[in-house]
Amino acid sequence: MNDFLSRAVAYLKPTAPASSSAAGELPGLDSPVLLPVTDGVTLAYVVDEPQGLVFVQQRHLRDAGISEQTLHDTAMTNLGKLCAEQLRVQKHGPVYGVFLDGNFEASLFVLESLWQRDLAHLVDKGFAICIPARDILAFCDMDSQEGIATLRQMVERVSDDGDHLLTKTIFRIRKKAA
């Protein structure tokens, strides 16, 4: 694997509308590598370069001779390392804010070990999570009506004039049995 791809990090972005590409069109070599996550949210892979975040494209995989699965595994490992080095969680009333680096907070949504191991002690049955923009991830206990109302208010405030918007959906993740 080359240096560029070895630095890839999993990155959540909004799903492009279906009308943005011709039906049945095969992705070109300049197309970013994408993996659907849930309605409205897609996982992409980016490398933090001096000029900003650069999306990993199909041609990068072809040129390096690696599979999408290898890229995904590397990018998830790198996201986990970033999390281990920089993660901060702060309680604000009935919700917790998750802070990282300003680019990958929402991406932590796909990091199962974060929810099932690292943060599981903060909730009873599971999580209610919002990721309204790439730099915002907040959660509460999935049974907290006050917490969910606070998450909804946060989503609406961010959606009005936020940058790098993702989704208004409040997601739920159940804790796995120990």
pLDDT tens, position by position, 25-50: 446 899 999 999 998 899 999 999 99
Task: State the pTM of this model.
Answer: 0.90
Q: State whether 116 and 40 are in the same domain.
A: no
Task: List CB contacts of 36: < 8 A, sequence separation 6 or more.
Answer: 15, 42, 43
What is the Cα–Cα distance from 1 to 27, expressed in whole angstroms? 22
* 3-state secondary structure at position 122: helix
Q: 45: domain range?
A: 3-79
Q: State whether 88 and 169 are in the same domain.
A: yes
pLDDT surpassing 50 at residue 163: yes
Q: State whether 53 and 114 are in the same domain.
A: no
Q: State whether 140 and 162 are in the same domain.
A: yes
**Is the separation of the CB atoms in 171 and 126 below 8 Å?**
no
| Structural domains counted in the chain | 2
Answer left, alpha or beta for residue 102, where phi above 0 means left and psi between -120 and 50 means alpha.
left
pLDDT at residue 178 in the model: 66
Q: State whether 50 and 65 are in the same domain.
A: yes
**Is the separation of the CB atoms in 34 and 42 below 8 Å?**
yes
Q: State whether 75 and 97 are in the same domain.
A: no
Instruction: Output the six-digit token pair for 55.
Output: 């999306």
Q: State whether 99 and 137 are in the same domain.
A: yes
Instruction: Output the six-digit token pair for 19.
Output: 């009308």
Which of the 8 DSSP states describes residue 104? S
Instruction: Output the six-digit token pair for 59.
Output: 């041609």
Q: State whether 65 and 142 are in the same domain.
A: no
**Last residue of one domain, picked from the residues 25, 48, 79:** 79
What is the tens place of the pLDDT at every residue in 2-25? 999 999 999 999 997 754 444 444
- C-beta neighbour count of 124 within 10 angstroms: 10
Instruction: Output the six-digit token pair for 18.
Output: 């279906």
Q: State whether 15 and 49 are in the same domain.
A: yes
